[in-house]
Structure 1
């Protein structure tokens, strides 16, 4: 697998290769090396045992186990094409079944509480963008002033900034495109954000004048920067968010679950899953449906009402209770 991993370095993006390295070097190779199983000896049962092992020992999700399976199958397929093995044993394995997503999220009251406590905190902008627009962390950090049209009152998601651990180093990856084609989207700039972004623009101009040579101009095209002009790091958001929640005794959720909170509020207020897909930038409708369909109770109520109005189900009426006189008559007859 390490040979396949080295080959893939030149075929996929660095973020993808970093994920492959994490899976292969972290879990897959150590397991089979410890078992002493060689490539030519590998059987489908060995793979099935591996999936059960990581699911039970590390308590990973079936979704993560599926990623391991995808890496293993791809590596074995390469070995098969190179005539190193007669067949691909991964094709005989039952993939771990993905469980229904049951993430945590905030309701409207909890979000309003959160908005209060992050005022003037470096997290403020990130929390607002994640909760209102459902932006991913990489989209928030990657937001540039060129993506904001004050004239047309729009905000465009088209640049991302990601932090990854790769080859023993922590590196920042900037991309002039979003996660996928559907992630590239333009959304309305509502009045509250129009005013917020105008204020941030003015503050940045003031900070440049105030700090002069101490100001970092490297990230001047980015919106999410601190007072000295340094871009907020993706890792800072992830690390600082739970600290803020704990400090103010708010329910623990992950930062990414503000995105789920956004989706749940849209559903509660009658927005369709198709519209939510476009708002969040999911590449496929099935992704949105798989994640959020179980929250869509309103549509089930509407469906039940339609069926009730359409079909008349014959209900057998309960027989009336006998009167006291009828009871006495039956007793003495």
Structure 2
């Protein structure tokens, strides 16, 4: 396993991490979650990601149960959770000081942990003043209930505003951002955030590296019944499912088929190629993967051996398929 510094900090996270979105507490039961986390830990993954909203808090409970069951040394783990959607009450959502503090306490209770390493603002909150948000996350850090705070799906302007407020108040600014990033979703990580990597040392823990499974190739011949996109009661998955029926969706499926040929040339799977492509970007601190069975964790970790195979020629071949490279250059890891 490779470990990378999380942004401009001394914290090292495994370049591949395991997240619980959709899967743990929802798609699979606690036993499977425990098995996946055990395999991940044994393979060197130290970073596990969840959120208060995942499966209504059950994901936090299941992942916390796994930590207790295996008796892992707390200093060997990097645990993150995210706050924004905490319930149906008027103060159970958003980034008010009240919800950040109460939401943190509720998450720690479900996880049965004294602290999380990383605490994210799951989305920006235009209704709460930025100074209130920055002060609240600093309060949680001062209480020892989190070590670092960050953002998820914030714009570069919003992140910059948080840094400006933190600097003015001599407080801790957000260290990391958790954006969507994959071969089909590139502009924010590769272009919009470029000034932030240089100015603030922003770290990124990216989600959906396989575009909800699209880049794995599993949807080329339809939607398997045991896949994420088959989940009927998940609005996000429905949106992805409907997108496959559009002209753009069909074009993407054609590109996935061409990417599969490149994967075959490298003697890897399409999923491993997509994960390795994300890891190639030096501005990515960790790639958050999902797994509904232990074997998927093992297959995902094998993507590490593919990264050195992504030569300049192979990267050009991939770009010739994707045809979506942002105009601004970015820093991919040299071969």
- TM-score w.r.t. the length of structure 1 is 0.29
Q: Which has the higher helix share?
A: 1
* Structure with a larger share of its residues in strand: 2
Name the larger-Rg structure: 1
Greater length-normalized contact order (CA 8 Å, ≥ 6 residues apart)? 2
Q: Using structure 2 for the length normalisation, give the TM-score.
A: 0.29
